[in-house]
């Protein structure tokens, strides 16, 4: 009878140990749900074509304000910068000099490299050329007649003009004279066109000339050349505009790992077998996350000498480090051991249960995020 009681007592004890072991919390990977907002930009055309009408007369050989550069040099730079930033959205384009008339890039499908080459080859020297701006604008008529959709005319001008000249044969049907605004008004009445005037004017009367040209319809405007140089064609909504849309992506990322405290027997630093699964999970996590590292903090209860307890807490932290290094080939620089003796108790040292809680190693995982 006594033997049977002993048997059942042992059996109950084993079941109890097994039950306790099975309910020990395991190491758990910490994750968090993250929402990341991506801003996507799409370019939307606001025009179908653009033409450059370029003034290379003698007046643009003068220095523009205090820039130290001639009007001619500055406008060439602007044209090249604009072309570099313009997305290819299926535009048609052309470049024409009207002092005297010269085709630099005949109207057709926009090709960035060809356009840049033409802009680079714009007349680099100026002579005593007249400025038949009226005739230059009128020369756009046969070109626009072959185009469909909306056209922006980039008129590079300092507002000066002369009248009465017949300049070349490239597009002029007659020796027309008059104020350039009259020509712009006629062109705007026949075609869907906007004049984007890049102004190098420095005199009030010349500025007024350009304002009169821009007044032919509501979409035309005068822009100082320095402002044009600082503005991209899409951000200014001249040829295109930027349409921003948000895309929200939700995903889960690993931010760390929760590892329960490891407890130790009285005056012991060896790891109890019940913690092997938890340490194995930690080891595998560190292998899978090479930027992560573990911080092991050893503690002791207050029984015994304070100096002895400091060494005991160190041995406990180092025994956990040795387990990870031995079984998972993790670099020693990724295992940080710290020890505090009987400091920072997790529970009271006045009871055996409290002291059992204080004989521990705490584990933190960092470096994942």
* Residue-range domain boundaries for the chain: 24-36+250-366, 47-238
Residue 14: helix, strand or coil by DSSP? helix
pLDDT of residue 191: 97
Rounded-to-5 percentages of helix, strand, coil across the chain? 35, 25, 35
pLDDT of residue 64: 85
pLDDT of residue 31: 62
What's the rounded Cα separation, in Å, for the pair 26 and 295?
18
Query: Could you report the average pLDDT of every consecutive run of 10 residues in the chain (369 residues)?
Result: 44 37 54 67 89 85 83 83 86 92 94 91 69 92 96 93 58 61 96 94 93 95 87 80 73 66 95 92 89 91 94 96 93 92 93 95 83
Residues 6+ apart with CB under 8 A from 5: none
pLDDT of residue 126: 54
Chain CA centroid to CA 141, Å? 43
Residue 178, token pair as written in the block: 């008059």
Task: Give the pLDDT confidence of 146-202 residue by residue, as tens digits.
Answer: 999 999 999 999 898 887 644 443 444 444 478 999 999 999 999 999 999 999 888
User: How many Cα atoms occupy the beta-carbon half-sphere of 82 within 13 Å?
Assistant: 28
CATH numeric code, 47-238: 3.40.50.410
Residues 6+ apart with CB under 8 A from 329: 287
Task: Give the pLDDT confidence of 217-234 residue by residue, as tens digits.
Answer: 999 999 998 888 878 777
**pTM, rounded to two decimals:** 0.57
CATH topology for 24-36+250-366?
60s Ribosomal Protein L30; Chain: A; (3.30.1330)
Residues forming beta bridges with residue 298, ordered by sequence position: 339, 361
């Amino acid at each position: 009878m006594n033997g049977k009681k002993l048997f059942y007592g042992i059996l109950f004890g084993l079941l109890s140990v097994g039950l306790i072991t099975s309910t020990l919390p395991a190491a758990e990977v910490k994750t968090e749900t993250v929402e990341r907002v991506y801003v996507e930009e799409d370019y939307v055309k606001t025009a179908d074509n653009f033409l450059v009408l370029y003034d290379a007369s003698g007046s643009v050989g003068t220095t523009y304000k205090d820039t130290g550069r001639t009007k001619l040099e500055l406008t060439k730079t602007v044209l090249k910068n604009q072309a570099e930033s313009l997305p290819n959205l299926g535009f048609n384009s052309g470049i024409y000099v009207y002092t005297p008339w010269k085709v630099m890039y005949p109207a057709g499908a926009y090709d960035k490299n060809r356009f840049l080459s033409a802009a680079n080859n714009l007349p680099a020297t100026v002579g005593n050329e007249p400025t038949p701006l009226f005739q230059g604008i009128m020369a756009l008529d046969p070109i626009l007649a072959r185009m469909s959709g909306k056209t922006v005319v980039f008129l590079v001008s300092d507002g000066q003009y002369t009248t009465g000249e017949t300049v070349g044969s490239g597009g002029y049907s007659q020796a027309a004279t008059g104020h350039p605004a009259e020509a712009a008004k006629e062109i705007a009445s026949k075609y869907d066109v906007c004049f984007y005037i890049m102004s190098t004017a420095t005199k009030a009367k010349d500025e007024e000339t350009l304002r009169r040209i821009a007044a032919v319809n509501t979409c035309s405007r005068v822009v100082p050349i320095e402002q044009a140089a600082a503005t991209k064609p899409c951000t200014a909504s001249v040829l295109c505009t930027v349409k921003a849309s948000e895309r929200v992506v939700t995903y889960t990322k690993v931010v760390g790992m929760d590892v329960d405290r490891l407890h130790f027997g009285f005056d012991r630093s060896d790891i109890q077998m019940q913690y092997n699964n938890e340490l194995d999970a930690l080891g595998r996590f560190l292998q899978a996350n090479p930027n992560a590292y573990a911080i092991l903090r050893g503690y002791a209860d207050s029984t015994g000498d304070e100096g002895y307890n400091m060494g005991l807490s160190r041995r406990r932290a180092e025994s956990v480090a040795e387990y990870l290094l031995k079984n998972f080939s993790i670099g020693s620089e990724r295992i940080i051991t710290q020890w505090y003796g009987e400091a920072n108790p997790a529970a009271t040292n006045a009871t055996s249960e409290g002291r059992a809680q204080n004989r521990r190693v705490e584990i933190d995982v960092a470096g994942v995020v």
